[in-house]
């Protein structure tokens, strides 16, 4: 159990950047990527903004035969996997096939692919449904396709815990490293920016109805009124530290040092939600005290009651204004299972640069006793970061990342 | 040796066998629950057979609000979780809810609920811009199947780690394998873990029709699921759930719990070959079996029964037979192998857990369930598949396996705790 799982490669595809350096160049300065939905006509819906990845053509990156059999979120994940391998300086063939695996999270699977096939089924007939429907939409597709493309035959998996799932996947990847796997891919991707996905998200009751990209998603702001959804995510390459160093890994971004997951008490119980406990479990697992933590990447639901719960959990662990808190997902919207892995990437890059990316557009509110990093990025040494994530229904997960040296 | 994990409660909901007792009756008598589809008009489809459960949610204690907000698969999960908890005799109120978790496997989530709701909001497929004003509030619960694990957590009062595991048709093994890991590492003391799927809907039939994965044997639905038979030509879609109470061995012993079996070993591998195709040599499944047996510290000769994936497709049954030979050597020829999918169909993500239940009940009852409908030998499937009739036999250790789309191959070893102590 003493093996340390380090992150040695990153692949990221978000509305404000493809690839780790583009993503960070945009994120560190607070570049907004939320805008009106362009992938379909959203004018008739109560929510009309999204964080879309513009200008992505799967055919520029992937073999033609893969295009008709994959949803957009799988295409993004496959490209991110290629980038992560390149970033890590590993060729898939360098490592024995049973020592490499893929653990991903998903929220809704290939929802747009599913939408298109449901449309054919009900408007044209069952014989028009694609031969790829049997696997292109289901939650396991990204782990399957990444493993096939890269010849990875080791322990793999798929978890679904809504927005919290990305951290659960990273934790499961760390378990596999500790059990002896050499290299595990982990993270999450979702891309439900399609009419059917839109209607399902609206039904959740937490989407912002604002039309101004700069004020629609304002977590911890007194004007908060829901979130803006986005598409994309991130994949990390985890390796056992010693073997990573032995092969001369060039990028050792940091250590996945701690993890905790909890579930809220039944609705109406009146008892404290589980987020504080998840954070405390992650800190204990990492063997760090609250005062060792240099920044918290918040879940930042953007709904007043959920923001209050989170601010109270942070305050309970760190004290009022006890730690800088940030939510760079205000730039991209919430990326479902991809959101938390992207925050882990931001945390690792904050460690690398000594800079905390800002929570954009938000004005600090006197209602919350947290030191929210708003407006400008903040220069500060960052050695330890806590990432929080929550999923619909009561899932809470927390991950601690630390500098590797 | 560290913490060991045992099954102390079982809940099953299978076609023809709702409740663990009825489920075992079906299996031990070798009856089949496959029939012409009754949930909707199957006449447009190539395959018109399924294993349907005659399930009345009210009869099983679900409230009108629970029925409204839950997809059928979530209802299955909650009902079987309650059965498992009652069976275990565990009073979770006496346990720390923070140390109780939930993992639920599901391959296709709320696919039936999504199919139904899509039809409404698209007005029968006419609208591209589907109409949100016709969408129910619980559509978000269908959108993300982690809602299944949330429902089970509320039902049993779990506040530890709660998640859905969704690795396609191995979800039911991988969900339980994940829960075992959480108890072993000390994250949880009790896990309520299993899997559910309720995929019998037009979109599912259509997608399997498109790749001819399901059987067209429509004139003989009761005998349509024919694993290892020379005339097999596809699987029969099923539905159902199985959920277990898993506990740490010493804690279960202290409270005097009835122990069905220890989950002694588990492993999963990927074939990295094709999303739906299998290489005939079975080497990745063999590797999963080998690692699961090594974890259990058991030699091939210890395995008394293999509960096969046995889906009844041409390629699967051949692939799996090769994997057993590769991993168990000569012992593969001496070990009874059977597929309960011949009786209850293939319920995608759920079936792995339903098969774990069958394996535990085989140990409990010292009886190996048969492979129904197996009349015509296939030269490529030359093991002892226990045709037609259950076999009374002391069963102390069982290997159960799964194989699925995406290339996942999983294996689990169940054994008596006193036997596998090492």
**CB contact A50 to B (< 8 Å):** no
Which residues in chain B have their CB less than 8 angstroms from residue A158's CB?
A: 165-167
Distance CA B156, CA B150 (A): 10
Superfamily of chain region A5-246: Thiolase/Chalcone synthase (3.40.47.10)
Distance CA A401, CA A7 (A): 10
**CB contact A185 to B (< 8 Å):** no
The one-character DSSP state at B99 is G
Look at residue B1 in the predicted model and tell me its pLDDT: 62
Phi and psi, residue B148, nearest 5°: -65, -45
**CB contact B260 to A (< 8 Å):** no
**CB contact B230 to A (< 8 Å):** no
Q: Model confidence over B230-285: pLDDT tens digits?
A: 999 999 999 999 999 999 999 999 999 999 999 999 999 999 999 999 999 999 99
Which tokens in the block code for residue B246?
């898993």
Indicate the pLDDT class of residue B419, thresholds 50, 70 and 90.
Answer: confident
Contact B115 A118 (CB under 8 A): yes
Residue B73 belongs to domain with CATH number: 3.40.47.10
Residue of A nearest to B106 (CA): A139
DSSP for B120-187, please give it: HHTTTTT-SS--GGG--TTHHHHHSTHHHHHHHHHHHT--S-EEEE--GGGHHHHHHHHHHHHHHTTS
- Across the interface, of B130, B140, B160, the residue whose CB is closest to A262 is B160
**CB contact B2 to A (< 8 Å):** no
- Domain membership of residue B268 (yes or no) is yes
* Nearest residue to A143 (alpha-carbon basis) of B275, B59, B53, B238: B275
Q: How many CB atoms lie within 10 A of CB B181?
A: 19
- Domain membership of residue B98 (yes or no) is yes
Q: How many residues are given for chain A?
A: 405
Q: Model confidence over A95-138: pLDDT tens digits?
A: 999 999 999 999 999 999 999 999 999 999 999 999 999 999 99
Q: What is the set of active-site residues of B?
A: 169, 309, 346
Contact A392 B161 (CB under 8 A): no
Evaluated on CA atoms B86, B87, B91, B96, the torsion sign reads negative
- Domain membership of residue B115 (yes or no) is no
- For chain A, the structural domain boundaries read 5-246, 259-402
The SS3 assignment for B231 reads coil
Which tokens in the block code for residue A310?
């989170």
Q: Model confidence over B357-393: pLDDT tens digits?
A: 999 999 999 999 999 999 999 999 999 999 999 999 9
As for the ipTM of the complex, it is 0.97
**CB contact A119 to B (< 8 Å):** yes
- Domain membership of residue B12 (yes or no) is yes
Residue of B nearest to A103 (CA): B167
Distance CA A120, CA A128 (A): 6
Distance CA B214, CA B313 (A): 8
Residue identified by tokens 């406990």 is A277
N-term to C-term CA, chain A: 19
**CB contact B167 to A (< 8 Å):** yes
Distance CA A164, CA A172 (A): 13
- Domain membership of residue B136 (yes or no) is no
Q: Which fold, A259-402? A: Peroxisomal Thiolase; Chain A, domain 1 (3.40.47)
Indicate the pLDDT class of residue A2, thresholds 50, 70 and 90.
Answer: low
**CB contact B269 to A (< 8 Å):** yes
Distance CA A156, CA A137 (A): 18
- Domain membership of residue B116 (yes or no) is no
Contact B213 A134 (CB under 8 A): yes
Which tokens in the block code for residue B336?
């009874």
Contact A157 B178 (CB under 8 A): yes
pTM: 0.98
Distance CA A382, CA B386 (A): 63
| Helix A339-353 with A165-178: angle, nearest 10 deg | 70
Residue A198 CA from chain centroid, whole number = 19
- Tell me the residue range of the domain where B273 lies: 5-110+145-415
| Domain tally, chain B | 1
Which tokens in the block code for residue A355?
């800079």
Contact B11, B243 (CB under 8 A): yes
**CB contact B286 to A (< 8 Å):** no
Which residues in chain A have their CB less than 8 angstroms from residue B277's CB?
A: none
Q: Model confidence over A230-284: pLDDT tens digits?
A: 999 999 999 999 999 999 999 999 999 999 999 999 999 999 999 999 999 999 9
Which residues in chain B have their CB less than 8 angstroms from residue A155's CB?
A: 267-269
* Nearest residue to A88 (alpha-carbon basis) of A190, A182, A189, A188: A182
**What's the maximum distance between 2 C-alpha atoms anywhere in chain A?**
61
- Across the interface, of B136, B147, B272, the residue whose CB is closest to A148 is B272
- Domain membership of residue B159 (yes or no) is yes
Distance CA B144, CA A108 (A): 5
The SS3 assignment for A295 reads strand
Distance CA B39, CA B51 (A): 11
Bridge pairing between strands A355-356 and B34-36: unpaired
Q: How many CB atoms lie within 10 A of CB B376?
A: 11
Contact A33, A332 (CB under 8 A): yes
The whole-number average pLDDT for the span B310-324 is 97
- Across the interface, of A44, A107, A123, the residue whose CB is closest to B129 is A44
Contact B163 A395 (CB under 8 A): yes
Q: Model confidence over B292-303: pLDDT tens digits?
A: 999 999 999 999
Residue of A nearest to B410 (CA): A155
Residue B422, pLDDT > 60, answer: no
Look at residue A405 in the predicted model and tell me its pLDDT: 84
Report the C-alpha dihedral over residues A136, A137, A143, A144, rounded to 10 degrees.
Answer: -30
Indicate the pLDDT class of residue B39, thresholds 50, 70 and 90.
Answer: very high
Residue B421, pLDDT > 50, answer: no
Task: For chains A and B, count residue pairs whose Cβ atoms are closer than 8 Å.
Answer: 266
Distance of residue B43 Cα from the nearest chain A Cα, in angstroms = 11
Look at residue B49 in the predicted model and tell me its pLDDT: 98
Bridge pairing between strands B49-51 and B34-36: antiparallel
């Amino acid at each position: 159990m003493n093996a340390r799982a380090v992150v040695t490669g990153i692949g990221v595809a978000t509305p404000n950047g493809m690839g780790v350096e583009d993503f960070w160049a945009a994120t560190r300065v607070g570049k907004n990527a939320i805008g009106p939905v362009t992938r379909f006509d959203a004018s008739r819906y109560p929510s009309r903004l999204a964080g879309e990845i513009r200008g992505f053509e799967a055919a520029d990156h992937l073999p033609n035969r893969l295009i008709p059999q994959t949803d957009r979120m799988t295409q993004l994940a496959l490209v991110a996997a290629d980038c992560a391998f390149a970033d890590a300086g590993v060729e898939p063939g360098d490592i024995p096939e049973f020592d490499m695996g893929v653990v991903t999270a998903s929220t809704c699977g290939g929802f747009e692919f599913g939408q298109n096939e449901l449309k054919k089924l009900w408007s044209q007939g069952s014989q028009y449904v694609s031969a790829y429907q049997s696997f292109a939409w289901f939650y396991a597709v990204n782990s399957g396709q990444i493993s096939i493309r890269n010849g990875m035959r080791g322990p793999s998996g798929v978890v679904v815990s809504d927005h919290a799932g990305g951290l659960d996947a990273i934790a499961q990847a760390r378990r596999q490293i500790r059990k002896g796997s050499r290299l595990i891919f982990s993270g999450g991707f979702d891309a439900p920016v399609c009419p059917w996905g839109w209607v399902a998200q609206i039904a959740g009751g937490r989407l912002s109805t604002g039309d101004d990209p700069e004020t629609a998603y304002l977590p911890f702001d007194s004007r908060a009124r829901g979130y803006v959804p986005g598409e994309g995510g991130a994949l990390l390459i985890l390796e056992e530290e010693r073997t990573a160093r032995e092969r001369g890994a060039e990028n050792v971004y940091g250590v996945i040092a701690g993890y905790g997951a909890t579930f809220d008490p039944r609705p109406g119980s009146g008892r404290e939600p589980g987020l504080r406990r998840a954070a405390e479990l992650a800190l204990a697992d990492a063997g760090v005290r609250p005062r060792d933590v240099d920044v918290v990447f918040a879940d930042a639901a953007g709904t007043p009651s959920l923001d209050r719960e989170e601010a109270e959990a942070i305050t309970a662990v760190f004290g009022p204004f006890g730690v800088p808190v940030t939510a760079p997902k205000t730039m991209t919207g919430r990326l479902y299972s991809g959101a938390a892995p992207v925050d882990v990437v931001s945390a690792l890059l904050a460690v690398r640069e000594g800079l905390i990316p800002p929570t954009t557009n938000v004005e600090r509110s006197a209602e919350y006793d947290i030191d929210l990093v708003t407006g400008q990025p903040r220069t500060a040494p960052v050695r330890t970061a806590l990432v929080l994530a929550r999923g619909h229904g009561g899932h809470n997960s927390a991950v601690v990342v630390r500098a590797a040296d | 040796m560290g913490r060991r994990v045992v099954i102390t409660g079982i809940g099953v909901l299978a076609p023809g066998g709702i409740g663990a007792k009825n489920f075992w009756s079906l299996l031990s008598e070798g009856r089949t629950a496959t029939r012409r589809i009754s949930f909707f008009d199957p006449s447009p489809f190539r395959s018109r057979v399924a294993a349907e459960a005659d399930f009345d949610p009210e009869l099983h204690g679900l409230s009108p609000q629970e029925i409204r907000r839950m997809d059928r698969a979530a209802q299955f999960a909650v009902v079987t979780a309650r059965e498992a908890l009652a069976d275990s005799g565990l009073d979770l109120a006496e346990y720390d809810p923070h140390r109780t978790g939930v993992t639920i496997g599901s391959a296709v989530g709320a696919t039936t609920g999504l199919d139904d709701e899509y039809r409404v909001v698209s007005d029968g497929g006419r609208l591209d811009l589907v109409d949100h004003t016709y969408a129910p509030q619980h559509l978000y619960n269908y959108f993300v199947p982690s809602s299944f694990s949330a429902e089970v957590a509320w039902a049993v009062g779990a506040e530890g780690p709660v998640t859905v595991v969704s690795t396609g048709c191995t979800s039911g093994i991988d969900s339980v394998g994940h829960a075992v890991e959480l108890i072993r590492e000390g994250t949880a003391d009790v896990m309520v873990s299993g899997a559910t799927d309720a995929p019998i809907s037009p979109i599912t039939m259509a997608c399997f029709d498109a790749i001819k994965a399901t059987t067209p044997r429509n004139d003989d639905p009761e005998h349509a699921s024919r694993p290892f038979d020379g005339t097999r030509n596809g699987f029969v879609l099923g539905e159902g759930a199985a959920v277990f109470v898993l506990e740490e061995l010493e804690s279960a012993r202290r409270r005097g719990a009835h122990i069905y079996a220890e989950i002694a070993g588990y492993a999963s591998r990927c074939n990295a070959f094709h999303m739906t195709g299998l290489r005939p040599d079975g080497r990745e499944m063999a590797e999963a079996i080998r690692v699961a047996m090594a974890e259990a510290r058991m030699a091939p000769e210890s395995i008394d029964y293999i509960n096969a994936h046995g889906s009844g497709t041409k390629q699967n049954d051949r692939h799996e037979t090769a994997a057993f030979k590769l991993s168990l050597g000569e012992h593969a020829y001496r070990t009874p192998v059977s597929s309960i999918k011949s009786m209850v169909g293939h319920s995608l993500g759920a079936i792995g857990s339903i098969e774990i239940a069958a394996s535990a009940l085989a140990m409990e009852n010292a009886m190996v369930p048969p492979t129904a409908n197996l009349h015509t030998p296939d030269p490529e499937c030359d093991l002892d598949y226990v045709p037609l009739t259950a076999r009374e036999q002391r069963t102390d250790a069982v290997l159960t396996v799964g194989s699925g789309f995406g290339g996942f191959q999983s294996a689990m070893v169940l054994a008596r705790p006193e036997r596998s102590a090492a």
